[in-house]
Amino acid sequence: MNVHDAAMPLEIETALARPTREEAEAAVRTLLRWAGDDPAREGLRDTPARVTRAYGEWFRGYGEDPQADLQRVFEEVEGYDEMVILRDIRFESYCEHHLAPIIGRAHVGYMPSNRVVGISKLARVVDSFAKRLQVQEKMTAQIAKTIQDVLQPRGVAVVLEAEHQCMSTRGVHKHGVSMVTSTMLGVFRDDPATRREFLAMIGNPVNRAA
């Protein structure tokens, strides 16, 4: 590596390293051959193109800015400062270890200080992080931190419940098992009563998983 390469910003280096669609399709054909099939046969002939298009949809979160979704806020709330909760946000993500689907629900709550955001924006934040290769623990923290950083509320609570198909369709083959993760910030972390109220309002998934 020369000096110029060493000084190249990471985002530029990553952009230059991104393969073309043709290279991506060639990689899919290689995997099909490795699996033992013939990518030239009729049923698989268009599969590489379909897979690359699907990847563009499944991983569109890399091209989205979740903070931008929260920029439009409403301050005329007549002094409302109680809990705001959006529960049962269905999401689909993919495990970064096996590329297997992670399918679940997110519950998001925050305690506003002097402004609120449209509820669809909370769902968009969840989707922006879900549509990437993920680890559920990391995704939970990313959602909470983004809401906290942009809205500056008195607290944020995020709970994710999900089934990981890397566990149900391979490996130990355990079906119907949900993983529950949570991140509590501000009053949700510091005040046990506020935390209990939030968990009660979303149906306390921690108890359901026990």
Instruction: Tell me which residues are annotated as active site.
Output: 95-98, 136, 164, 166
Q: Which residue in 64, 52, 54 sits closest to 146, CA to CA?
A: 64
Compute the distance between CA of residue 58 and CA of residue 64 in angstroms, rounded to an integer: 12
Residue with tokens 């993983």: 179
Q: Within a 10 A sphere around the Cβ of 194, how many other Cβ atoms?
A: 20
Which of 30-46 are b and which e, b meaning 16 or more Cβ less than 10 Å from the residue's Cβ? Answer: eebeeeeeebeeeebee
Beta bridge partners of 184: 157
